[in-house]
């Protein structure tokens, strides 16, 4: 989730997604913050908004790999919980 989008920030968008998930009794999707803010308070703001994790720019490839490994084994949100394939 880009934290600073032109049409609305990622913090508010994440809160809306989390509210919708609760209202619709949906499983939570994994939301990872991507931001230029590299301070601890930037990370805290992302987590407080409901994001699951955080990456600061510029993105380090090893951090990205570790983050993907952390979440890729989790099932995807949705009613059927099927993992989509890539063609």
Domains, the chain, with CATH or none: 4-72 (3.40.50.2300)
Query: pTM for the full model?
Result: 0.73
pLDDT digit string (tens) for 31-80? 999 888 778 888 899 899 999 998 988 888 888 888 888 888 655 555 45
Nearest to 18 by CA among 55, 54, 56, 46: 46
Taking the C-alpha atoms of residue 5 and residue 32, their distance in angstroms, rounded to an integer, is 14
């Amino acid at each position: 989730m880009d934290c600073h989008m032109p049409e609305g920030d990622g913090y508010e968008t994440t809160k809306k997604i989390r509210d919708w998930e609760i209202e619709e009794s949906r499983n939570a999707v994994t939301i990872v913050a991507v931001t230029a803010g590299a301070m601890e308070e930037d990370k805290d703001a992302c987590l407080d908004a409901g994001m699951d994790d955080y990456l600061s720019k510029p993105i380090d490839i090893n951090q990205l790999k570790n983050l993907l490994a952390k979440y890729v084994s989790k099932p995807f949100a949705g009613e059927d919980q099927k993992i989509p394939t890539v063609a």
